[in-house]
Structure 1
Amino acid sequence: MFGLIGHLTSLEHAQAVARDLGYPEYADQGLDFWCSAPPQIVDHIKVTSATGQVIEGKYVESCFLPEMLATRRIKAATRKVINAMAHAQKHGINITALGGFSSIIFENFNLSQIQQVRDVTLDFARFTTGNTHTAYIICRQVEQASKQVGIHLSEATVAVCGATGDIGSAVCRWLNGRADVKELLLIARDQERLQNLQAELGRGKIMALEEALPEADIIVWVASMPKGVEIDPTTLKQPCLLIDGGYPKNLGTKIQHPGVHVLNGGIVEHSLDIDWKIMNIVNMDVPARQLFACFAESMLLEFEKLYTNFSWGRNQITLEKMDLIGQVSLKHGFRPLLMEG
C-alpha cells in the first residue's frame, strides 16, 4: 500500500475543505487550532496501471498550513510532518510520498534526526520526497511544451529559478546532459551553492532574477516566490514558456500576457481515472486524471514493489535515477501535463 502526505494551501482553503469533507469541528477554527490538530487519513485511493495492475493507497492530511512558517510557528510545522509520517507508518503503509512543503520542511529542519515519535520508530526507507519524478516530469515538459509554443531548445536560453534546490539542481543536470540547450541561467539565493553547481555542470551563467528573466526563452520556476517580488510580463520575451513548478501554483493567474505561456510544472496525467476525491480539493483541472508528480512517485514505487526512499536528501538526484523513474512512469500510464490545444 502507498501513502501520500499532503497539506492545504492556506487557512481559508483548509476551513473550506474541512467543511466539504465532513469535518465541521475544523471548519471554523483559527490557526492555533490547526497547529494542534492531529494528522488524519481522509481518502482511500485505488489506482489502475496501464498494465492492468491495481494498487491501493491512503491520503494523510498533515494539517500543516503555510501560515505556520510565515508566523514563525516552526515547531508546529515540523511536528506536523513528523506526526503525519508516524501516522502513515502506523497504518502499515509501505511507501509514502512527502508532498508540497512536507519534504522541504523535512530537509530544511533536519528532521531525520528525529526518529522516535511517541511509540513509533520511523523507518525512513518507507518515505520518499518524490522529487526525482517531479524533476523528470518538469524536464519532459520543457522538451515537449517548448515545441508546442515554437521554441527550439538548441537556440533557447533557459533560466532555472531555484537552481540549487533538490529539484532545480536535477533539472539543471538534465538540461546540461540530456537536452541540447543553448544557454543556461542559474538563479538562487545562496551564492556558494550556485558556484558549486556551476562548477559541477561546467557551464551556466549565475545571474540575478531581474537580469535573467528578460533574457530567457524558457523559465523554470522551482523556488518559492520572495515577498514583494512581482514579474512584469511585458519585460519577458515573446514567445516565452514559463513552467511553474512551485506550490501553490499561482503564476498562471499572476502572469497573463500574449506570448507568455504558463504551464503548471510537475503535474502528470494518468491514462485511466483514479478512484479518489483528494485532487478535487487541490483544484486540478481534471481531478480524476491529474496529480502532482511527487505523489505519482509513491504510486510508481508501489507498482514496482520498490520499497525504498527513492528520492531523499538534497542534491542526490542523478540522471540515471531520472531515467529509471521516467521509464516506470511511462510503463504505468503517466505522462507530463502539456499546453492545451
Structure 2
Amino acid sequence: MFGLIGHSTSMEHAQKAAAQLGYPEYHEQELDFWCSAPPQIVDDIKVTSVTGNTIDGKYIESFFLPEMLTQRRIKAAVRKILNAMAHAQKANIDITALGGFSSIVFENFSLQNNRQVRNVELDFRRFTTGNTHTAYIICRQLELASAQIGINLSQLKVAVCGATGDIGSGVCRWLSEKTSIQELLLVARNQERLHTLQSELGRGKILPMEEALSQADIVVWVASLPKGVEINPETMKKPSLVIDGGYPKNFDARIQNPEVFVLKGGIVEHSLDIEWTMMDMANMDVPNRQLFACFAEAMLLEFEKWYTNFSWGRNQITVAKMEQIGEASQKHGFSPLLLKEAVTAART
C-alpha cells in the first residue's frame, strides 16, 4: 500500500477544504487551532496501471499550513510533518510520498535526526520525497512543450531558477547530459553552491535572476519567489516558456502575455481514472487523472514493489535514477502535462 502526505496551500484554502474532508468544525478555526490539529487519513485511493495491475493507497492530511513557516511557529511545522509520517507508518503503509512543503521542511530542518516520534521509531525507507520523478517530468515537459510552441532545443538558452535545490540540480544534470540546449543559465541565492554545481556540470553560466529571465528561451522555476519580487513579462524573450515547478503554482496569474507560455511543472496525467476525491481540492483541470509527480512516484514504487526511499536527501538525484523512474512512469500510463493547445510560434 502507498501513502501520500499532503497539505493545503494556505489557511484560507484549508478552511474551504475542511468541509469537503469531513471536518466542518475546522472551517472557522484560526491558525493556533491548525497548529494543534492531528494528522488524519482522509481518502482511500485506487489506481489501475495500463498493465492491468491495481494498487491501493491512503491520503494523509497533515494539516500543515505554509503560514507555520515563521520563527514563532516553526516547531509546529516540524511537528506536523513528523506526526504525519508516524501516522502513515502506524497505518502499515509501505511507501509514502512527502508532498508539497513536507519534503522541504524535512530537508531544511534535518528531520532525519528525529527518528523517534512518541512511541514510533520512523523507518525512513518507507518514505520518498518524490523529487526524482518530479525532476524527470519537468525535463520531459521542457522537451515536449518547446516543440509545442515551435522552438528548437539546440538553439535554446534555459534558465533554472533554484538550480542548487534537489529538483533544480537534478534538472540541470539532465539538461547537461541528455539534451542539446545551447546554454544553461544557473540561478540561486547561495553562490557557493552555485559554483559547486557549475564545477560538477562542467558548464552553465551563473547569472542574477533578472538577467537570466531576460536571456532565457525557457525558464524552469523550482524556487520560492522572494517577497516583493515581481516578474515583468515585458522583459522576457518572445516567444518563451515558463515551467512553474514551484508550490503553490501561481505564475499563470503573474505573467499575462500571449507570447510567454506558462506550464504547470511537475504535473502528470494518468491514462486511466484514479479513484479518489482529494485532487478535487488541488485545482487540477482533470482531477481524476492529473496529479503531482511526487505523489505519482509513490504509486510507481508501489506498482514496481520498490519499497525504498527512492528520492532522499539534498542533491542526490542522478540521471540514471531519473531514467529508471521515467521508464516506470511510461510503463504504468503516466505522461507529462503539456500546454492545452499546440502553438506554432515563429522565432525572431
TM-score of the superposition, structure 1-length normalised?
Answer: 0.99
- Is 1:60 the counterpart of 2:66? The answer is no
Counterpart Cα distance in 2 of 1:72 and 1:191: 28
- Is 1:198 the counterpart of 2:198? The answer is yes
Task: After TM superposition, list the pairs within 5 Å mapping 1:113-192 onto structure 2.
Answer: 113-192=113-192
Report deviation, 1:72: 3.5
Number of residues paired by the alignment? 341
After superposition, the C-alpha distances for 1:53-92 in whole angstroms (9 at most, x for unaligned) are: 0000000000000000146410000000000000000001
Counterpart Cα distance in 2 of 1:38 and 1:114: 18
Q: Tell me the residue number matched to 1:69.
A: 69
Task: After TM superposition, list the pairs within 5 Å mapping 1:1-341 onto structure 2.
Answer: 1-70=1-70, 72-341=72-341
Aligned CA RMSD, in angstroms, stands at 0.6
Report deviation, 1:20: 2.1
Report deviation, 1:24: 1.4
Structure 2 counterpart SS, 1:339? coil
Counterpart Cα distance in 2 of 1:187 and 1:245: 14
Structure 2 counterpart SS, 1:47? strand
Report percent identity of matched pairs: 72
Counterpart Cα distance in 2 of 1:168 and 1:70: 24
Structure 2 counterpart SS, 1:274? coil
After superposition, the C-alpha distances for 1:268-300 in whole angstroms (9 at most, x for unaligned) are: 000000000000001100000000000000000
Structure 2 counterpart SS, 1:287? coil
Report deviation, 1:212: 0.8
After superposition, the C-alpha distances for 1:313-335 in whole angstroms (9 at most, x for unaligned) are: 00111110000000000000000
Unaligned stretches of 5+ residues in structure 2 = 342-348
Counterpart Cα distance in 2 of 1:43 and 1:258: 39
Report deviation, 1:19: 1.7
Structure 1 counterpart SS, 2:181? coil
Unaligned stretches of 5+ residues in structure 1 = none
Report deviation, 1:150: 1.1
After superposition, the C-alpha distances for 1:105-144 in whole angstroms (9 at most, x for unaligned) are: 0000000000011111100000000000000000000000
Report deviation, 1:235: 0.5
Report deviation, 1:22: 2.1
TM-score of the superposition, structure 2-length normalised?
Answer: 0.97
User: What amino acid is the match of 1:254?
Assistant: R
Structure 2 counterpart SS, 1:19? helix
Structure 2 counterpart SS, 1:143? helix
Structure 2 counterpart SS, 1:104? helix
User: What amino acid is the match of 1:62?
Assistant: S
Report deviation, 1:21: 2.1
User: What amino acid is the match of 1:323?
Assistant: E
User: What amino acid is the match of 2:137?
Assistant: I
Counterpart Cα distance in 2 of 1:111 and 1:20: 31
